[in-house]
Amino acid sequence: MSSLATIRADVENDLKDTGNTLWTDAEINRAIYRALQDYSHASPIEQKSTLPTAPNSRNVSLATLTPRIRVVAAEYPTGEYPPQYVPFTIWGDTLTLDLISAPSGTPNVDILWHKEHAINGSVTFPTSHDNIISTGAAGYAALAAAAYAANRVNVGGDNTWGRYQEFGRSRLAAFEQMLRTLPAASRLNTSQLYSAIHTRLTSQTTDPGPV
């Protein structure tokens, strides 16, 4: 089962540092969280939350939607079929519905949004993706070591930082390729987010010439 400890062990094994000779647990954890953030932006958790509007207002507070990557769609009014999605703007933690008239009272809005993955405690990504996270984390950890080793005396030789840098870049290149193969999750899975045009469009068979 995936956990921070198991992925940290994978990273340390990739770095050939199972005894924490060069990297501390805290440094490896920091690299893991950085890779996890990249992974989250490529394949986020898809969430649907029902939130109330402010009284007699177009505004909806998004403060409870954390850790939030992006809002994909706002459904208002709720419970319609097909769903009715409305344009919106976001400033800080406030989403404003682009409606001509403000709703009366505090009706609900269904917010479809993307959330970051978690690893400490509950793990929100499949075990089959552990290798993706550990590959990215190994790359970030190696580049951090390369930056630290540059212009310092190293027991491994003057080119120690160069080897770290080469290893880190190769791991990050592999990581980025893995992210590109993940299913696209940055768009709503629907073919229509707007009201249909109810007038029939006809083809023009004659050219009326200049007007």
Residue 156: phi, psi to the nearest 5? -85, 0
Tokens read off for 102: 């403000």
Q: Which residue, 46, 34, 47, 8, is CA-closest to 130? A: 8
What does residue 37 show for φ and ψ, rounded to 5 degrees?
Answer: -65, -45
What's the pLDDT tens digit per position in 137-169? 999 999 998 877 655 544 454 455 578 889 999
Q: Output the average pLDDT for the chain.
A: 85
C-alpha torsion angle, residues 129, 130, 136, 139 (rounded to 10): -150
Q: Which helix (H) or strand (E) holds 130?
A: helix 130-149
pLDDT tens, position by position, 56-77 = 999 999 999 999 999 999 999 9
Instruction: Write down the pTM of the prediction.
Output: 0.79
Maximum distance among all alpha carbons in the chain?
A: 84
